[in-house]
């Protein structure tokens, strides 16, 4: 079965890899893309969408989305993805042709035109989704599924630290609206599983050894990402955050364990996370929380099988 996918993206390095991955999978069809701030500014995000779709020869509707969160100030991760979001390689990135509607409006229009047929893949801050829910509070019931890269899973085992939940932290207001909204199926692929899904030296070497435009581009934009993550593990390796969310959308078998339950967006005064309201051993937390419809929260993945598939797609 071919899944028709609308992609909402703050087009940084792993977002670009995700578009390459989706375009290379025979069971995926990208039918629309919306831009949002996050890994880079919204303008850079839409320029990067145009660059990647041009490289792939994709002609799909593109709409410009939110340049700032629903409340507060945008935090741009140029120190991770490069100032332009693609590692500052100097690519010519003219503004692509856009539909003229907002990102939120495109998300609503496509869902109403093809109810029950489309999947929505959200790879950045959830601002466009939050704004779209203001236009259509039942929006998620019109998508076959909504899969997002964000969140932190259940509460971790005591003493365990997690990577920053950047997409949620960048717009907690929008995230709260997303997790409270009625839905057909909402899947959270959070940093609890993406941070351990590693493209290691061997996999990166396989990409570098492949002389195709897609593989060359995928490796060219890696350097900024590797420069950042080498300070996490002392090795020039990266996590496949956004690609894993796409993989789970296309092949739910990549997820080997999941829990259904309410998700709340909670802060500690420094940063905000989306949490399944369960402890690591499946118990409710020891404080009151807001009721919410069930979200399908991924808790374990077959990382070896996914990474092998990702490399095969980008090198074939």
- Could you give the residue numbers annotated as active site? 241
The string of DSSP codes covering the chain is -PEEEEEEE---HHHHHHHHHHHH-TTEEEEEEEE-SSSS-HHHHHHHHHHHHHHHT----EEB--SS-SSS-----HHHH-TTSS-S-----PPPP--SSBHHHHHHHHHHHSTTTEEEEE-S-SHHHHHHHHH-TTHHHHSSEEEEE----BPPPTT------HHHHT-HHHHHHHHHS--S-EEEE-HHHHTT-EE-HHHHHHHHT--SHHHHHHHHTHHHHHHHHHHHHSSS-EE-HHHHHHHHHH-GGGEEEEEEE-EEEEE-SS-EEEEESS-TTSPPPSS-------EEEEEEE-HHHHHHHHHHHHH-
């Amino acid at each position: 079965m071919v899944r028709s996918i609308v992609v909402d993206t703050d087009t940084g390095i792993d977002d670009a890899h995700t578009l390459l991955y989706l375009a290379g999978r025979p069971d995926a069809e990208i039918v629309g893309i919306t831009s949002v701030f996050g890994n880079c500014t919204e303008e850079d995000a839409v320029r990067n969408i145009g660059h990647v779709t041009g490289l792939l020869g994709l002609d799909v509707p593109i709409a410009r989305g939110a340049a700032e969160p629903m409340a507060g100030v945008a935090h741009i991760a140029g120190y991770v993805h490069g100032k332009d979001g693609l590692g500052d390689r100097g690519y010519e990135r003219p503004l692509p042709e856009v539909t003229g509607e907002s990102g939120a409006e495109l998300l609503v229009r496509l869902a109403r035109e093809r109810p029950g047929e489309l999947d929505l893949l959200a790879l950045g801050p959830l601002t466009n989704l939050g704004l779209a829910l203001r236009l259509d509070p039942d929006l998620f019931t019109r998508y076959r599924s909504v899969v997002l890269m964000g969140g932190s899973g259940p509460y971790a085992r005591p003493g365990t630290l997690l990577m920053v939940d950047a997409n949620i932290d960048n717009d907690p207001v929008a995230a709260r609206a997303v997790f409270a909204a009625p839905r057909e199926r909402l899947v959270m692929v959070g940093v609890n599983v993406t941070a351990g899904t590693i493209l290691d030296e061997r996999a990166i070497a396989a990409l570098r050894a492949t002389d195709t435009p897609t593989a060359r581009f995928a490796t060219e934009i890696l350097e900024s990402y590797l420069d950042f993550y080498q300070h996490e593990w002392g090795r020039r390796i990266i996590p496949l955050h956004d690609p894993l969310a796409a993989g789970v959308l296309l092949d739910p078998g990549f997820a080997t364990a999941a829990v259904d339950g309410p998700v709340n967006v909670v802060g500690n005064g420094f940063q905000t996370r989306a949490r399944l309201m369960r402890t690591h051993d499946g118990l409710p937390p020891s404080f009151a929380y807001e009721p919410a419809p069930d979200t399908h929260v991924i808790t374990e993945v077959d990382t070896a099988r996914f990474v092998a598939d990702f490399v095969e797609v980008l090198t074939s």
